[in-house]
Structure 1
Amino acid sequence: MRLAFGRHPVGNATADRVILACSSHPDLRAGPAASVDNHHTSTRQERIVFVIFGASGNVGRATAAALRNAGHPVRAVVRDARHRERLEHLGCEVVLADLTDTRSVAAAIDGAHGVQMLCPVPANDEDPATTMRRMIDVAAAALAANPPPVLLELSDYGAELASNTGITRLFHDLEERLRPIDTHVTLLRSAEHLQNWMRMLPTALATGVLPSLHHPVGKLFPAVSAPDVGVVAAELLLDSEHDGGPRVVNVEGPRRVSVTDIAAALAEAAGRPIVARELPRDAWAPTLLRAGLSELHARLITDLYDAHNAGHIDVEAGATERRFGTTEPADALAGLVARVRRTMQREP
């Protein structure tokens, strides 16, 4: 069995000039619709820009869309120029940045009022932890040198834990580096994204079996539709009333799910039986290696799901701020089935 596993309608808002609709920033004004020239100069005096890293992903694109629909100027930061057109359609200024290069990241945040920072776990990387830590160093250096008034970092449930959480440990490191920056810092920790199940869908549709690293498959765990995280992030970027130390906000979906629930929702959407099945613990690493992951990447994932299954990946004890997405898990999962089927129909 092959298993590829890993973590983690918008209007065309292109008005020449708009008044920002944020009650927290009544004096801010937007400038002309942004160009997509990477060699932009700072326009700090003319307009307030929200800079969204990872804007081509499910969360970042939803944040950018929510801000643009509210009339706010957005600079969308991507690593791949192939994502440019879709973000331009939202009315974003689009820039390319290498997240391992300090000057590149510094240029992307120049003139920003608010920054949404994402340091993604690198795909197809022999040593993703080392590469991500380089991204963290670069982000921390650029933001500390030129801190925006508002900084939001995308993080994970369990990021308060300093060890034995695999991928989530890297988000702990990111939080620790960004906490001291002298600005309004929000750490937005999200539950597992339902969109991650997209990676297992071809196997489930072909075989009727949904393999799972969650044990047991009937156990409820927190999950959320990724675009809902982006909407919450946009709300938090516009809320500068919070004072004091870093603000920690937790977000998950309207209800918790089990892998059995996920399999049932996929089966309903696909119109065929699909059953959840635990992948034996001793098969995790070999399966991940066969899927093309490096040994170091596979270890990050197995450590994460050991922590998950031990009940450690959840809302931090004593958390004071919690948000809940509105997308029902079954609706998010049905959308994934539709996407996979469209892709399969386009393939020769």
Structure 2
Amino acid sequence: MFVILGANGKVGRHSIQTLRQLGAPVRAIIRNADHAAALQILGCDIAMADIHDGQALRPALRDAQAVQVICPISPRSDDAGAQMRSSIEAIVTALAETRPASVLAISDYGAHHASETGIALTFHHLEEALRGLGLPLSVLRSAEHMQNWARLLPRAIETGVLPSLHHPVTKLFPTVSAADVGEIAAQLLTTGSGAGFRVFHAEGPERYSTADVASALASLTGREIAARELPRAQWLPALVQGGLSASYAELVAEMYDAHNAGRIEVEEVTGNVRRGETGLHQALAAMLGSPL
């Protein structure tokens, strides 16, 4: 049995779809019963548990051949770091008791750094906590998701300006479709992790810049759209205005500081990169509902 935490998220759902296509048995862990029917259609067993509740997670994890772990952070949490630490503690406590044959964790580029990486630092803590269990562990460090641009697209189309926290806007950075991360994770789950600790990185078929995003968006919409650096002093107000809590906005800003300093990258020690097939144009078209 393959057990998927965060089963209703973009990564988890695509992991499930890939596993089921391979004929593998899957147990989907969700906290909202409204999502059960769609997952049952895929042929999943359903377990109800909140990711912050270690006691509820234990029965959901029993008899697992492999467990896929993801720790989502609420973008509106008053203390996003504390919320992540609470999730990690609950998950690790449940895994310590149930001892699955192997664990695969969805992590982040830059998670090998132990300081000053914002959101990526929370995934460093996740990796370290899971390593402490002594279970066979694989981590899949995901590049920035292409779908993160979705919240900026309507404004960019309206104003003709795509603001960027990537500086300069011509800088190429790693990015990947969330669906591809889910598929790569499923492939790693089914190949097993053997003993010890393995690190993989997931990114798309090539790297892009914010200028590339603006150009692709212009091509898809027939409008003139230019990429513009958002000045550092405006990051936090803009992120909060966009709906993020002050706590989460601080983590995002710190991560982009690290990005612009070249620290959110493939760890040189491992260098094991799995590439998804979805290109930027295809991903943006799907977000816009546009035919290719």
Instruction: Tell me the CA shift for residue 205 of structure 1.
Output: 2.1
Instruction: Tell me the CA shift for residue 147 of structure 1.
Output: 1.5
Contact kept? 2:137, 2:193, Cα under 8 Å: no
Amino acid paired to 1:171: F
SS of the residue 1:217 aligns to: coil
Instruction: Tell me the CA shift for residue 83 of structure 1.
Output: 2.2
TM-score by length of 2: 0.96
Give the corresponding residue for 1:305.
Answer: 256
Q: Deviations over 1:6-26 (max 9, x none)?
A: xxxxxxxxxxxxxxxxxxxxx
TM-score by length of 1: 0.81
Query: Which range moves more in the overlay, 317-326 or 275-284?
Result: 317-326
Residue 9 of structure 2, aligned match among 46, 57, 70 = 57
* Distance in 2 of aligned mates of 1:123 and 1:295: 9
**Counterpart mapping for 1:1-348 below 5 A:** 49-240=1-192, 242-243=194-195, 245-338=196-289
Instruction: Tell me the CA shift for residue 241 of structure 1.
Output: 5.7
Instruction: Tell me the CA shift for residue 326 of structure 1.
Output: 1.1
Q: Deviations over 1:273-328 (max 9, x none)?
A: 22211111100111122223222211111101100111100101122422111111
Q: Deviations over 1:233-292 (max 9, x none)?
A: 11111112633x211111111100000101111222222222211111100111122223
Superposed CA RMSD: 1.5
In structure 1, list runs of 5 or more residues that go unmatched. Answer: 1-48, 342-348
Contact kept? 2:4, 2:28, Cα under 8 Å: yes
Q: Deviations over 1:41-98 (max 9, x none)?
A: xxxxxxxx11111111111111000000111111111232332222122111222211
* Distance in 1 of aligned mates of 2:19 and 2:261: 38
Contact kept? 2:75, 2:245, Cα under 8 Å: no
In structure 2, list runs of 5 or more residues that go unmatched. Answer: none
* Distance in 2 of aligned mates of 1:210 and 1:292: 18
Percent sequence identity is: 49
| Larger Cα-atom Rg | 1
* Distance in 1 of aligned mates of 2:280 and 2:241: 29
Contact kept? 1:147, 1:182, Cα under 8 Å: no
Determine which structure has the larger helix proportion and give its number. 2
SS of the residue 2:137 aligns to: strand
Contact kept? 2:88, 2:126, Cα under 8 Å: yes
